[in-house]
Structure 1
Amino acid sequence: MVSGTDLLRIENLGISFAMLGGRMNVVKGVNLRVLPGKVTALVGESGSGKSVISQSVMGILPNTASVTGKILFTDPLNGRASDILQMRPDGAELRDLRGKRMAKIFQEPMTSLSPLHTVGNQISEVLQIHTQATKEERRAQTEEMLGLVGFHNPARTYDMYPFELSGGMRQRAMIAMALICRPALLIADEPTTALDVTIQAQILELLKDLQQKLNMAMLLITHDLGVVANMADEVVVIYHGEIMEAGPVDAIFRNPQHPYLKGLMAAVPHFDMKPGERLKALREVPVNSDTLWAKKPKPENTPEILLSVKNLTKTYAIRKSGMFGKQDKTRIKAVNDVSFDIRRGECLGLVGESGCGKTTLSKILMRAITPDSGSVTFNEGKGEVDVLAAQGEALMELRTHIQMVFQDPVSSLSPRMTVQNILSEPLEIHGRGDRAYRMEKVRALIQAIGLDQRFLNRYPHSFSGGQRQRIGIARSLALGPQLLICDEPVSALDVSVQAQILNLLKDLQKKLGLTYLFISHNLAVVDYMADRIAVMCAGRIVELAPSAIILRNPIHPYTRSLLAAVPFPDLDRPLDFKTLKASGASDKRAWGPQFFDETDSNDLAQADLGGGHLVLARRNVDARELRA
């Protein structure tokens, strides 16, 4: 029976795919509902069937899929209930619903947007298909929506191509495309996974406001329990295609019943964790680093500072127009007078929004980018090495000491190489041992990250995201490095897999004496991993302090804004959307005169507040005034 209050009702949904040797059942007897004007969150790990369910609602499943059950959509405009599974996927009836009355925000904006069409052209196309608006009206409505989702210059954005936007900006464009026809049901498939906490908070506030104004219902697909706690009215927990637990958000968070849901909640890092407390991963990864190399003893007179960065600056020129247009005189400092030290054996966290210069800085340290000025000095105990000037054999030797774990485990592993080839490649490049030695070392590496040796002849595509990231970590350990630069190593992973990787990195650091530069926009993750934290904004380090100080007593307004935007998986600590600035945390005009140099005359310097706590402020401001 269809309830008169249900906008979307899924009854006994089963989905299977044709595979070699039979069919694979990926969704088994799922029942859920979405009420008008309410948010139902569908929570689960990658591979649990969340996205497949959303595809079935939109009628965009591949031809190899077989679907049973009912998907009933009741259009508020006419009150008529329709079974989507009875409609032809390419028929006029479903096409009229899709995009107009039901819309979807896809998880990966780069592959969902056409690279050949401008952002405005793609968004206005939805209006062209579903409305009678003129070309001028479509442009005006599109620019209005681009403004609503946070673009400062909608008219300019309208004529830009997707590759000209950052990941967060592309996701905003996807949200604008989904909302342009004011749908009754919005399916949001991981809409904020790739976004910074401040932009995520803005998007969540935007979705909440539009949902209330338009009485829009939402099926929110996510693995972020903090987002669920702040957005959802009802929660459905799915595991391997089956519903484990469902109910109102209050009951789910305050009194979880199923062990799987309890496990998910225990895997989430949070700011209230005690020193030394360990994340509880759903499936622990056994770490066996004994066969790699012993923890390197610290010789006497070894300097405390492993890597010293002084006054790094990198400037980029902005093109005036077009790919081959003349360069404008406008220049942007991606990295602006950055200085910090990384101590031997510690983890230094580097946090900030997209575009603040984190990855540019990491590429400079890896010698992938040449800075305009500044110095980087590495000292493992055999004398100082100028990283930026190293050439030939000195550079090859340096690369064995500094390695990188990349953000995307898919694109950073060659699809044409087996795991054995991937792990042995660094050893071959640097001439380490003979074939037998390299094979022995590869087996030790795969064992150290908790994978079976029988996986060595498999290719990256046959592994999950977490397993691929572990392979990336193993590759970075092949040469026995002193320093690992981890660039957003867990941002694309589920909370349960994220807990595995973070625990693995901690175990390896303890057993092998590694030093980390850990780059992330997830402050809870950085708090779990880092001993000290550097906060970066617009190319500059605005605050640097031990993690216990900076996350509990932040001084700089930017750091405070970042912390205020973190969604907690706790119903008693909701996001305060009213205090979050619509202009974003990086709006320097809102910082106050102590922290903002309006004339840009370089009148800012690091103020020492004691205990290793440094804050970027005006030179003439007293430290006591900053604390106040």
Structure 2
Amino acid sequence: MDTGADLLRIEDLSISFAMMGGQIDAVRKASLRVLPGKVTALVGESGSGKSVISQAVMGILPKTASATGQILFCDPKLSTGPVDILQMPPDGPQIRALRGNRMGKIFQEPMTSLSPLHTIGNQIQESLKIHTDLTARERRQRSEDMLGMVGFSKPSRAFDMYPFELSGGMRQRAMIAMALVCQPSLLIADEPTTALDVTIQAQILKLLRDLQSQLNMAMLLITHDLGVVANMADEVVVIYHGEIMEAGPVETIFRKPCHPYLKGLMAAVPHFDMKQGERLKALREVPVDASSLLGRTPATQANAAIKLQSDVLLSVRDISKTFTTRKSSWFAKADNQPHKAVDGVSFDIRRGECLGLVGESGCGKTTVSKILMRAVTPDSGSVMLSSAEGPIDVLAAQGDALQKLRTKMQMVFQDPVSSLSPRMTIQNILSEPLEIHDRGSGKSRAETVKALLKAIGLDQRHLNRYPHSFSGGQRQRIGIARALALGPELLICDEPVSALDVSVQAQILNLLKDLQSELGLTYLFISHNLAVVDYMADRIAVMCAGRIVEIAPREILMRAPVHPYTRSLLAAVPFPDLDRPLDFQTLNTGGASDMRNWNAAFRDDEAEAALSAADLGEGHFVLANRNADVRELRP
């Protein structure tokens, strides 16, 4: 094939790292291309070599890396013709003239990629200062134009703001502006939407598509989300353990996948068309045996005995929480600005069910979970736990009653890296809850720890290892085992799979389902991924701006959502299906929580008391104006 037709062509690229224990081959004989004005998606799991390839293209490989092969960059604006990036000195003038100028990169985590000490404007105009002869005023104007192009309503104000003053979505937009301010011919987007809400993700994808056509720019899109690939890519390259498994046009890849790895990746993605009881097919199944935990603790005995009952386990009534933000300079007087994070939230969790709680970042989901776990004290409201040993007032429990409550409710955290102590072995991590609550003798604790490891599919030889030596999925399984150590009746899972690959995510979700059925567990499952909640939950509560706006059984909410916020969330989910593309035209530009686009029946323009939960039947409730006709609310 003629290399002149390709903007970027990678030939037989191999990248290895010199390590203490020998050489690690991160990429092996990889070949791919990016056409001018087109999107090539590079798809694979964590550790497959995607980001290392992008580093090689940008000339920013670490010094411990050695690379062979060719990376040919053929920019029409370069008079020299195709240049081989691997032949350029890493910090030489040639690669520095390309980097940030003709090639831009968006990094995965904008908060760690943007300097906290410099304003957004300073960081965006740095490329212009290096690569152009523009005056300071022209640089500011170009930067503000770019900020306006990526969706900032007040570019001149955003120019002087610091990264910590922006939301995650806005920081990602600032990062895009920084990458595109010199109008490069190639943009490398490394997982640009992984950490974002589904609605913000849809906005960023629409923005990238619009900018790509406006600037006639090519894109190398690195992702593990097949829904994003189906909506964005022209060509797809699938990589596994540093080797290219399959490559071709997006139509061929999705409609006629050939390689078993690609087929397995597609089967591991939760989607809305799954039948009742259908399981995700994880690429590597983990053998789970929770039978050894049954009867080991009083709570698991009780769970097993009463798991068929449908009585309410946890009853939450009218909890509210207001936080006060102190905004002041060195000399100004402190200005207390109250923010209502949770506003009159009520729901029940029935014994043995999984209640899904969904909503955008900042809607109050995690604050609710912290209130339930007694990590945050609410301003008002009540929480009652109908334990097998009698009712417990969660918010009033003190002393021995609080200690007892801790054994009934446990939490699985979002990030297993930061929630597991790096100084403790797995043996110590899993036995610590048993020691704190004085459960059993040293010998029986050791047996319980082995039973926990067996339940989550890990081997006993892992007991003396530290968390850093495990993969992300294994660390999350250890977090689940720790939560199960005391045999809780309720498990609160706060975004337990958001940081994981699709294939590892399938393992964890299947594990949670298996544990629920075998141990009779009850879950509150918090997530912003609607497809994951659809797979896990029996009922779903949708949260917006501190309130629950809709709650219904899973099949009703997914099939016939009533509230405009719920419908906006569902419309923003990218399907891994070419026949169901995202409708970018109807996406809410202000986000799903922008009430200006809501029907008047759902807005509280006049007074808060005007809104109440309307009963639509079959356990379906929606927050609407008291004067609205419930029958007219259905779409």
TM over 0.5: yes
Within 5 Å, which residues of 2 pair with 1:103-252? 103-252=104-253
Count of residue pairs the alignment pairs up: 628
1:398 pairs, out of 389, 405, 409, with: 405
Cα distance change of structure 1 residues 461 and 260 upon mapping to structure 2, 3 Å threshold: same
Q: Which runs of 5+ in 2 are unaligned?
A: none
| Cα deviations by residue, 1:161-182 (Å, 9 ceiling, x for unpaired) | 3334443333333222222222
Q: C-alpha displacement at 1:155, in angstroms?
A: 4.1
- Closer/same/farther in 2, CA of residues 323 and 195 from structure 1, 3 Å limit: farther
Deviation at 1:482, TM superposition (A): 0.7
Equivalent residue number for residue 37 of structure 1: 37
SS at match of 1:489: coil
Is 1:483 equivalent to 2:490 in the alignment?
yes
List per-residue Cα deviations over 1:197-252 (Å, max 9, x = no partner). Answer: 11111000000000001011000010100000000000000111111000000000
Q: Given residue 167 of structure 1, which amino acid in structure 2 is its aligned partner? A: G
Aligned position for 2:383: 376
1:343 corresponding residue in structure 2: 350
CA distance in 2, matches of 1:32, 1:607: 55
| CA distance in structure 2 between the aligned counterparts of 1:195 and 1:125, rounded to whole angstroms | 26
The answer to whether residue 473 in structure 2 is matched with residue 466 in structure 1 is yes
Corresponding residue to 2:368 among 354, 361, 368: 361
Q: Residue 234 of structure 2 contacts residue 250 of structure 2 at CA under 8 Å; is this kept in 1?
A: yes
Change (3 A) 1:625 1:457: same
Contact residue 317 and residue 328 of structure 1 kept, 8 A: no
SS of the aligned residue for 1:533 comes to strand
Among 578, 585, 590, the alignment partner of 1:578 is 585
Distance 2:365 2:331 in 1: 28
Give the one of 490, 512, 516 matched to 2:519: 512
For residues 172 and 602 of structure 1, do their structure 2 counterparts lie closer, same or farther at Cα, with a shift above 3 Å needed? farther
Q: For the residues of structure 2 that align with 1:233 and 1:243, how far apart are their CA atoms?
A: 17
Within-5 A mapping of 1:97-108: 97-108=98-109
Q: What is the CA–CA distance in structure 1 between the aligned matches of 2:248 and 2:573, rounded to whole Å?
A: 25
Q: Work out the CA distance in 2 between the residues paired with 1:556 and 1:324.
A: 46
- Range that drifts further, 595-604 or 406-415: 595-604
| Contact 2:288/2:455 (8 A) holds in 1 | yes
After superposition, the C-alpha distances for 1:527-548 in whole angstroms (9 at most, x for unaligned) are 0000000011111111100010
Asked whether the 8 Å contact 1:319–1:325 carries over to 2, the reply is no
Is contact 1:168–1:194 with CA below 8 Å preserved after alignment?
no
Aligned to 1:27: 27
Secondary structure of the residue that 2:463 maps to in structure 1? helix
Residue type of the alignment partner of 2:121: G
* 1:319 aligned counterpart, secondary structure: strand
Are 1:15 and 2:15 an aligned pair?
Answer: yes
Shift of 1:108: 2.0
Moved more, 138-147 or 312-321: 138-147
Cα displacement (A) at 1:346: 0.5
* More moved, 291-300 vs 208-217: 291-300
Native 8 Å contact 2:304 2:519 kept in 1: no
Q: Distance in 1 between matches of 2:332 and 2:482?
A: 41
Whole-Å separation in 2 of the counterparts to 1:263 and 1:319: 50
Report if the CA contact (8 A) 1:2-1:9 is conserved.
no
CA contact (8 A) 1:302 1:381 kept: no
The answer for the alignment partner of 2:550 in structure 1 is: 543
Aligned equivalents of 1:301 and 1:16: distance in 2? 55
Determine whether 1:271 maps to 2:259. no
Taking the aligned partners of 2:76 and 2:464, their CA distance within structure 1 comes to 54
- Report the equivalent of 1:282: 283
Aligned-residue offset at 1:149: 3.2
Please give the TM-score of this superposition, normalised by the length of structure 2.
Answer: 0.96
- My pick for the range that moved more, 462-471 or 132-141, is 132-141
| 8 Å Cα contact 2:307-2:352 kept in structure 1 | no
Give how far 1:116 is off.
Answer: 2.4
Instruction: Provide the C-alpha distance between the structure 2 equivalents of 1:322 and 1:156, rounded to a whole number of angstroms.
Output: 18
SS in 2 for 1:551: helix
Pair 1:148–1:358, CA change in 2 (3 A): farther
The one-character-per-residue Cα deviations of 1:16-72 (angstroms, maximum 9, x if unpaired) are 010124211111100000001100000011111111000100111111101000001
User: Which amino acid counterpart does residue 426 of structure 1 have in structure 2?
Assistant: P
Q: Is the 8 A contact 2:309 2:351 kept in 1?
A: no
Going from structure 1 to structure 2, the CA distance change for 1:44 and 1:300 (only over 3 Å counts) comes to closer
Q: 2:563 aligns with which of 543, 556, 560?
A: 556
Residues 308 and 352, structure 2, Cα contact 8 Å, conserved in 1: no
CA distance in 2, matches of 1:300, 1:278: 21
- Structure 2 SS opposite 1:51: helix
Counterpart contact for 1:313–1:371, Cα < 8 Å: yes
Measure the CA separation in 2 of the matches of 1:147 and 1:521. Answer: 28
Change (3 A) 1:58 1:338: same
- Give the alignment partner of residue 621 of structure 2, picking from 584, 593, 614: 614
- Separation in 1 of the partners of 2:308 and 2:85? 72
Instruction: Judge which range, 302-311 or 44-53, deviates more.
Output: 302-311
Residue deviations 1:341-389, cap 9 Å, x none? 1111100001111111111111111111111111111111333222112
SS at structure 2 position matched to 1:27: strand
Equivalent of residue 457 in structure 1, options 464, 468, 472: 464
Measured in 1, the distance between the counterparts of 2:331 and 2:454 equals: 50
One-letter amino acid of the counterpart of residue 495, structure 2: E
Residue 2 of structure 1: how far off its partner (Å)? 5.3
| Matched letter for residue 410 of structure 1 | V
Determine the C-alpha separation between the residues in 2 that align with 1:19 and 1:362. Answer: 42
When residues 323 and 33 of structure 1 are mapped into structure 2, their CA distance, relative to the original with a 3 A threshold, is farther
What's the counterpart of residue 422 of structure 2? 415
What is the letter of the counterpart of residue 442 of structure 1? Answer: V
Per mean C-alpha deviation after superposition, the further-off stretch among 539-548 and 153-162 is 153-162
User: What is the match of residue 72 of structure 1?
Assistant: 72
The Cα offsets for residues 319-339 of structure 1, whole Å up to 9 and x where unpaired, read as 334489644353221111111
